[in-house]
Structure 1
């Protein structure tokens, strides 16, 4: 740094702007993303604390199940293998904008899930500060103890108060919990590039913008010498170069495919089909013929833009528009936020490229306005799968347009404000629905939804009612008519009376259940677990927080259900550490979860 001195600012998160998932309810502060704000309040304690931020999923379980394949499995298209795949994210805003030097992530339970740290300029531009590939150290499962994760960061050329943290919990044994995130940075730029950018006008003209985009404004720092070859600057060399350009225009080469010359076009397209989108963009600039090949609609039938959320803009969709006439699956999750992509451009893209679209994911894509949904419904008559998880900027009336569809088979509305009339209309008009997520939807009547499901959706296989307090034993009894259910999440549905016998009746009527989540059903007891013991295909069962189930019933369950792979019995009052350890010893093929809270 030479003779310069800098003021180092340490601050904690002031606000959480966006996130992909949370364990807690929006009406509470327990296990919610809001707990990331402020100083740590549980660290260095280790364990399960409601005052921390917790995501809904962990390990391979949330992908290796029917609902995971419906909503979490990525679009089947080529992607780079050397880049970590994030499954969740959270955007944190700080009070003061700084040039980041260090970030401290306070992990208080099952650490090791962080796979990316980004800095944003609040206008849709992002700079990667860290991921595991930068340190040549793959993501590893770390020891079960609290830690402050503070990886080395790349310097950013712009000042920031927005930090995105990406997670991949698929290798973690249980829920990961984050207590706080501290940002350390300087008020003045340190890197040479940052110093140059700090002197630029906030709204550069067209010419200056082109110079900036090509980094031509970044000059060498003091003392750095460029090695120039005088021969290249000679007049003779310039004349020879000019002559070669003229000759090339008059007599262009017969081919510009190199070793691909003579290879049938079908084979070339097949080979190019293994390239990810960024590679196709680079290839299109190699030569005229490769530019032509890389524009073939065959290569763009399935697009997953989530991995490149940091560079998806209006220009991206403009570049893709004339190449996606055969687009069938599109994932725009996490893309275009903070003004990087305009709703008008997304509408225009759907008008040009949505005719053959049958699957679209717009999770955390806040560019998806009510007008965008109208354009989608109007121009994509074949659409059968829609995911709008966390699109919390959509209004209640915006969802009504979805009732115009008739071919829906999968619909994800996690954490949206969809209203009861829209849900009922969708269920009545789409009789082939197989997968439905209404988790954390505050404006629905769970019992009435179940009534309509029982009459309109006999082939339903997946239903997610996570944290739906309006569903009671009345709704559960109605749900028994959906006998093909394979995946049911009733976690934190606290209005279901255990004495009614409704849950046991549901289990008896749905013999194909593979995944059943009864998280925090305080009144569920041995009667329900004995009914569950009759399921021969069950792989995952969550009865966390159960007060009544006994050890003997759990032993019978594990003995009877040989297909079981995951059993969460955390905070079950009648069990204890010793009994759980014995169960793990007796049934090693089952991953038995048992959480705890360190109050010391």
Structure 2
């Protein structure tokens, strides 16, 4: 055994502890006429996971067994118990060091384990990206499965999420490139516009995500690394998750699990240059070829751009992960549970009043006013409310009070929300007024029937309903919404791109609507005109990237007649709008404060449409004329003269605006917060720097291409 310890050269100390902790009795081997060296070799192979190769450890076992059989027997009987205890003590020391050491030490130890795993990984076959010498597969995304938003058009590849499929197009170059993936928004100014919905209470502090994308890879692997290639304004990635479901499988499992590989807070890189973001990830108990990347661009100065995502991993589960040694799980050194990973309404503890837990005394809580306890409880998240309700009858009464559930955001728990969760919450939500279920229910976790049952029981008082990226929705779902929620004022169906066109006809029955978001949906012109005919109270309407509407002039004309209280209108990439429709819109909707005409290429400045627009709409706070090459100095000067309330202006891409007219706009609009002059050829970087120095409270944006 002394020879074994001295000459051990393979793997990590943890694998040595596993080998030592496997006792072998040579006397028992002799009684079965088995030579010690043969049996030792077999057991060593079992410890190694059945691999077909002989390690240095196995060779030493054979040597010891072959050289001195009696001596070997005596040593084993006397030394193995002690060595087993020593190995356990060594493991406890490592565990204690993991808990008490600094995070950098822990991550350093984890790196060492990962390198040892990669060095001893199994040899593998080919993959999309190739196989390293240690058997680690490198894969680029095969397909973009789902996403919440993108800057590009549904009918092109420029600035779309589909650019993330395959190898990088831009990296390591940095700058503003059309071949990258870009989300729809950045910064915090977007949330400050009148069209933005009010934030929800009880959102966990750990939930930072604002957008997401899901990527499918060719082959399922146990991930060892995930790399995100960011080519412009990096720092938006806040969470990376892996799914147990194979998106290419013909027989998907009933139980779909999402596990967090890495999570962090929003950040901002010191420079907008490209980088390869590769955080330390947790080990999985299942292979995966479906990743989800969630982002938050609120701290960034401009749009973040992603070029590719690389998944590295091995086909076989690593030995250390197989034995579940906690040493390798150091991303989270706390003993607490992740509240987003706990199913809402899960019953893990005995209920108050069951058997020996029956205790009628509530201590000092009995002396507190009911309203004060309600106020204290109102600061808890939804999972915490469900846990606290299991502690005692008094707190259960407070945690289940319907007044605690006037507004409910289930978006942070999209990965665990099921039909059973809604059934559990149903008795508490009879007074529900605002509900956010965005991102929930995908891949079968939530069904249309479960949603409809919940809404029939709890939707009578609803005034706001957020359902963006909810792919479980069907025509029957919208029909139930229209029948059950007569007082609904806000409805968000953004990126529900799997809803069939005929389903939107039911929205017309919600004649109390004030805010309607239909971004990236399949709504058609007939259904939209019906909605505008009956929903005359509309104040905020988002029709961005609704490519199935043929004639936006007809839509603008209907808005001017039926929706005269309109305050915000998003017509992002609505290509058929002309100066005739814009003139009718400006004449019929004088209260407009936000107007997004980005990428509406059919509008021509030579017709005078932008100048008439500025004169007709003096209340404008946000005006986006993105990528309209015809915007000129006269248009900008008319904005300066007629729209003093402007906060946000985007004239990206025009070649006909000079620094002088831009300066006049900055002088005339004291409330300006944002002006985007990217790709404006007459306004160079030097002019931007000079104007930024003169107007430090205005963020003047000008992107670059390296």
Task: State which of 219, 237, 257 in structure 2 corresponds to 1:125.
Answer: 257
Distance 2:199 2:219 in 1: 36
The Cα shift of 1:488 comes to 0.6
Partner of 2:297: 169
Task: State which of 114, 126, 147 in structure 1 corresponds to 2:275.
Answer: 147
Q: Is the 1:79–1:275 contact (alpha carbons within 8 Å) kept by the matching residues of 2?
A: no
Q: Is the 2:234–2:268 contact (alpha carbons within 8 Å) kept by the matching residues of 1?
A: no
Alignment of 1:219-298 (within 5 A): 248=356, 252-255=358-361, 257-298=362-403
Task: State which of 302, 306, 317 in structure 1 corresponds to 2:422.
Answer: 317
The Cα shift of 1:194 comes to 5.8
Is residue 558 of structure 1 aligned with residue 666 of structure 2?
Answer: yes
Partner of 2:81: none
Task: State which of 432, 450, 474 in structure 2 corresponds to 1:345.
Answer: 450
Map Cα deviations across residues 395-426 of structure 1 (whole Å, 9 max, x no partner).
11010111112101000000001011111111
Partner of 2:544: 439
Map Cα deviations across residues 173-198 of structure 1 (whole Å, 9 max, x no partner).
001000000001111123767679xx
Partner of 1:511: 618
* SS across alignment from 2:152: coil
Distance 1:359 1:515 in 2: 24
Map Cα deviations across residues 2-35 of structure 1 (whole Å, 9 max, x no partner).
3564231110001111111100001000000000
Partner of 2:574: 468
* SS across alignment from 2:270: coil
Partner of 1:523: 630
Partner of 1:492: 599
The Cα shift of 1:139 comes to 2.9
The Cα shift of 1:372 comes to 0.7
Task: State which of 198, 202, 213 in structure 2 corresponds to 1:78.
Answer: 202
Distance 1:85 1:176 in 2: 16
Distance 1:171 1:17 in 2: 27
* SS across alignment from 1:533: helix
Alignment of 1:449-468 (within 5 A): 449-468=555-574
Alignment of 1:340-489 (within 5 A): 340-444=445-549, 445-480=551-586, 481-489=588-596
Unaligned runs of 5+ in 1: 197-212, 215-244
The Cα shift of 1:125 comes to 2.2
Distance 2:475 2:320 in 1: 44
Partner of 1:95: 218
Distance 2:424 2:277 in 1: 39
Partner of 1:180: 308
Map Cα deviations across residues 41-61 of structure 1 (whole Å, 9 max, x no partner).
211111000000001111112
* SS across alignment from 2:191: coil
TM-score in terms of structure 2 length: 0.74
Q: Is the 2:405–2:432 contact (alpha carbons within 8 Å) kept by the matching residues of 1?
A: yes
Distance 1:85 1:522 in 2: 36
Partner of 1:326: 431
Q: Is the 1:385–1:408 contact (alpha carbons within 8 Å) kept by the matching residues of 2?
A: yes
* SS across alignment from 2:442: coil
Is residue 113 of structure 1 aligned with residue 236 of structure 2?
Answer: yes
Q: Is the 2:563–2:589 contact (alpha carbons within 8 Å) kept by the matching residues of 1?
A: yes
Q: Is the 1:111–1:142 contact (alpha carbons within 8 Å) kept by the matching residues of 2?
A: no
Q: Is the 1:189–1:195 contact (alpha carbons within 8 Å) kept by the matching residues of 2?
A: no
* SS across alignment from 2:453: helix
The Cα shift of 1:270 comes to 2.2
Distance 2:529 2:465 in 1: 22
The Cα shift of 1:467 comes to 0.2
Structure number, greater radius of gyration: 2
Q: Is the 1:21–1:55 contact (alpha carbons within 8 Å) kept by the matching residues of 2?
A: yes
Distance 1:124 1:452 in 2: 45
**RMSD of aligned alpha carbons:** 1.9
Q: Is the 2:487–2:510 contact (alpha carbons within 8 Å) kept by the matching residues of 1?
A: no
Q: Is the 1:45–1:146 contact (alpha carbons within 8 Å) kept by the matching residues of 2?
A: yes
